[in-house]
Each structure stands twice: as C-alpha cells, then as structure tokens.
Amino acid sequence: MTKKYMPWDDQPPKKEEDTKRKSEIKKPKTMITPSLLKWLFYSMLGLLFLASILITVENYSKSPKEDPAAAMRRAMGITDNSVAGNDAAKTELDNAIEKISSDVPDVRIEGLSKLMEIDSNTAGPRLFIFLKDPSPMVRAATARLCGSYRVQGAHNLILPLIYEVDADVRSGAVDGLSAFGAEPGFLYLLTSPLAYPKSDVVISAIDLWNRTAVNNLEVAKQVIIPVLRSNDERILETALDAISVRFTSVELTGMEPYLLDISKRLWGTPVGDKAKILVDRLD
C-alpha cells in the first residue's frame, strides 16, 4: 500500500515510479577528456618547436655573413702576416684568394696558380685541401701544381688520385707524380691493389715510369718486375715495351724467369713474341 500523506509529515511520500525515474537520469558528461588533454599538450609542443625554428632562422638571417674570401683565408690558414711583401704583393694575394673563393672551377684554378706564383714556399702546403676539392678539374690541376712546384709532402697525397674514375683526375695525378720522378712512388703505385679501372691505371703508371729518369737500376727493376706477374695482356705488353726501351741486354739480368714465363704462357701471341725477343737478347 502507498503511504497516505498527512499534513504533519515533513515531506510527501516518495512514489516507486518517481524513485525509478530519477535513478535512470545519467550524470552529464564532462567536455575535457584525457585524449583531448593529450592532443592539447602535443599541439603546444609542436607550436613551441615551430617558434624556435622561426626564431633561429630569423637570427641567422640577421647575423652578418662571412665573406667568401675571408672564409677561404681561414680555411687555408692565411693571415695578414703569413705572407711577406709590400702592399702590392698583398693586393695580388687578395686577388688570388678572391679567385680561389669562386664557385667556378676555372677561376679557382687560376687563383691557385697565382697563389703559387706569389709565394710557392709558404703557399704550397695550403694546396693540399684542394686535392679533395669537389671539382675533378680542380683536383687534377692541384696535383699538377704540387708536382710542378715539388711541394713537400704532396707525393703521398697525390697517389690516391690515380685510383679515381675521372680520367682528368688520373691524368693530373700522373702529371704531378711525373714531375716528382720518385721511383718509390711508382713501386707503390704498380704493386698496390688498384681500383677501377685497374688496367688503365697500371698502364698509365708504366708509361709515366718509362718517361721518368732512373737513377738506380736495381730500384727500377724492383718497380717493373712485379708488373710482369700480371695476367692482363695489355699491362704485360706495355711493360715489355717499356723494358725494351729502358734496359740494355746486360741490364735485363734478373728478369729472365719472368720473361721466359710470359713467352711460354702467351706463346704465339704478340705479347709472347715480345717476351721471346727480350729473352733472345739475353743470349
């Protein structure tokens, strides 16, 4: 039974249906969820990062940029006191450095040549950084300059250029080494593992060796004999041609086993015939 409401009661009696309806009323959902807070947090971080980039770019654009010539002076270690001379000489030096700072390879090479003309003694070692220049033309020209002025310490730095794919760089390295005329360099060049293209590199080195004066006969033999072990007929033919020009019959002593081996291995070929001619000269 439903309780009857009496005037002295503090509140009206609750009906069952009213209680049930109120219990079904859900609490309103809040608008701020954990995922929303997370999104806001990362958005703020992104905005801060973007703002820092914009500030950095703005500061960099406002900062004074270093003059290319000044940057080149610093890279080469040239100061106002590093090169002796009057004002005219220093002006020439400034002009040379300005050309070296150019983005045009031909102009850069012109500047390097001028720098060596001004003071080859102190400027020579400063060429070394240009043996790794991005431009093949500059690397080749630098190798030639180092050889022409016999820059001390350049020999071993030029040797790696022999292994480059670019033909102009290899040619410049060969010319630079030729100016040095150092037999130990050829010994290293002709006997070390060579990179692409192996045959062309060795043949160029043999031709270079053939044009270079030999002061020590035994060292000259040490240079060329390892090449005679090659299986490349082009290399062998080039080596045999060089030997026939460079050595007399008497000086061929010690090469007999190698020449005889080639004549037997390549019997009936132009290379085998050339080796046979040299063997006959020994008789």
How confident is the model at residue 196, as a pLDDT?
40
Whole-angstrom distance, CA of residue 126 vs CA of residue 129:
7
Give residue 54's pLDDT. 84
Determine the residue type at 241: D
Residue-level pLDDT, tens digit, the chain, 283 residues: 555 555 555 555 555 555 555 555 555 555 667 777 788 888 888 888 888 888 887 776 665 565 676 777 777 777 655 555 566 667 888 888 888 888 899 999 999 999 888 877 777 788 898 999 999 999 999 999 998 888 888 877 887 887 787 888 888 887 887 777 655 556 556 655 544 456 776 777 777 777 765 667 777 787 788 888 888 888 899 889 988 888 888 888 888 899 999 999 999 899 999 999 999 887 6
Q: CB within 8 A of 165, min separation 6: which ones?
A: 196, 197
Provide the pLDDT for residue 105: 92
> Of 212, 144, 192, 140, which is closest to residue 170 (Cα–Cα)?
140
Is-contact 257 266, C-beta < 8 A?
Answer: no
Cα Rg of the chain, angstroms? 41
Closest C-alpha to 281, from 270, 255, 239, 232? 255
Residue 118's alpha-carbon distances to 90, 111, 275, in angstroms, are 9, 11, 50
How far is Cα of residue 51 from the mean position of the Cα atoms in its chain?
37
- Following CA atoms 272, 277, 281, 283 in sequence, which dihedral angle do they give, to the nearest 10 degrees? 70
Q: How far apart are CA 233 and CA 177, in angstroms?
A: 25
> What ranges do the domains of the chain cover?
68-180, 181-283
